[in-house]
Amino acid sequence: MMALSPALSNVILALTGIVLLKAALTDLQTFKIRNELIVVLVCLFALHALFSGRWTDVHWNLALAVFMFFVMLIFYSLKWMGGGDVKLLTVGFLWAGPDCALVFALLLAGFAVVNVVAAALGLVKFRENNGRKRIAFAPVIAAALIASGLMGCFQPNQYVIKLSQTTPYIVAASEVGSFFPLLWGEGWDEGLLGQV
């Protein structure tokens, strides 16, 4: 199977950004994330994986999302996270997958700091619950996922696209051939192994 349409995968990314913004705004206003938005984001991921050629790694994305869901259940049971945040963050890790999980996590941390500072300055409203202050986390997740996409994390799988356009032998030969200049460089002193 091949990537059906890399161009259509970019349209799906734009739609995903719109849905993420809707989730962020809803959470800011009501401190709730609707289940329908979570389902839409999962469906958009499935379509994006199909159209971009990222379907080849979907099992790893699913494994990471399930693992992170169980980790976040611990935070939910301690009342450190809301249920909607757990669901949306699980979908975020589904989209990020192992290849972009670190980038996504670092962006999450950065945007979380910005969100906390904004709440401390009174720029973002918070809700008190049993003496504890709660701030909306969906804007942080949405910003981190959108930024991950803008950084190129969700680009179509170029190997699958090349594979669909040529024979596997030509693609494999060109990929191996492009690896050796990185390894050795133009001369012995310029490549990675040449510096040893």
Q: What is the pLDDT of residues 56-107, one digit of tens each?
A: 889 999 999 999 999 999 999 998 899 999 999 999 999 999 999 999 999 9
Contact predicate 81/64, CB 8 Å: no
CA–CA dist 9, 154 (Å, integer): 9
Contact predicate 142/20, CB 8 Å: yes
**Predicted pLDDT at 155:** 83
**Predicted pLDDT at 70:** 97
Higher-pLDDT residue of 132, 26: 26
Please state the pTM of the whole predicted model. 0.76
Minimum mean pLDDT range among 44-53, 70-79, 184-193: 184-193
Minimum mean pLDDT range among 3-7, 18-22, 59-63, 72-76: 3-7
Rounded mean pLDDT of 36-61?
93
8-state DSSP, 166: S
As a three-state string, the secondary structure of 35-77 is HHHHHHHHHHHHHHHHHHCHHHHHHHHHHHHHHHHHHHHHHHH
β-pair partners for 133: 128
**Predicted pLDDT at 55:** 85
Q: What is the pLDDT of residues 118-172, one digit of tens each?
A: 988 988 888 887 777 888 999 999 999 999 999 988 887 654 444 444 544 433 4
